[in-house]
Amino acid sequence: MSAHDHAGHDHAHGGAAHGSLKGYLIGFFLSVILTAIPFWLVMDGVIDNKQATAVIIMAFAAVQIVVHMIFFLHMNPASEGGWSMLALIFTVILVVIVLSGSLWVMYHLNANMMPGLHEMREMP
């Protein structure tokens, strides 16, 4: 808290810096590249292996989300005294639990609870 105003708070900055023209332009160009490559990979079928393509475009999405967070939403560990970063981390943890948990449980549910005709005949 180096920039104290007369009220002894730095809330005038709101914790959300507005960024600079340079920051916005860097973020924009990175986003364009990070968007264009996944579309190109899928639309032109550059990689034969679909699994590999899926992993790569997910990685691009993850990087682009971080780019947007930094350059457009101006996230940094110090904003709002660290509380917004803490809320973000908490949310990310919940999102990971919800997504991975749902997909994992439902995948196994499908695998175990929907026997094909073959297995059904063998059942007592």
Partner 1 sequence: MASTAITAGAEPVFHLEEEHAHAEGGSTMLGFWLYLMSDCLIFAMLFAAFGVLGGNYAAGPAPKDLFDLGLVAVNTTMLLLSSITYGFAMLTMDKGRVGATQSWLAVTMLFGLAFLSIELYEFAHMIHEGATPQRSAFLSSFFTLVGTHGLHVTFGIVWMVTLMVQVARHGLIEANRRRLMCLSMFWHFLDVVWIGVFTFVYLMGTLR
Residues lying near partner 1 in the complex (CB under 8 A): 1, 7-9, 11-12, 14-16, 18-21, 24-25, 27-28, 31-32, 35, 38-39, 42-43, 50, 53-54, 57-58, 60-61, 64-65, 68-69, 72-73, 80, 83-84, 87-88, 90-91, 94-95, 98-99, 102-103, 106
Q: Among residues 48 and 123, whose Cβ is nearest to partner 1? A: 48
Q: How far apart are alpha carbons 32 and 55 in whole angstroms?
A: 19
Residues in the chain: 124
Q: Could you tell me if 69 and 85 are in contact, meaning their C-beta atoms sit under 8 angstroms apart?
A: no
Q: Cβ of residue 124: shortest distance to partner 1, in angstroms?
A: 30
DSSP result, 30-46:
HHHHHHHHHHHHHHTT-
Q: Among residues 21 and 123, whose Cβ is nearest to partner 1? A: 21
Q: Could you tell me if 25 and 41 are in contact, meaning their C-beta atoms sit under 8 angstroms apart?
A: no
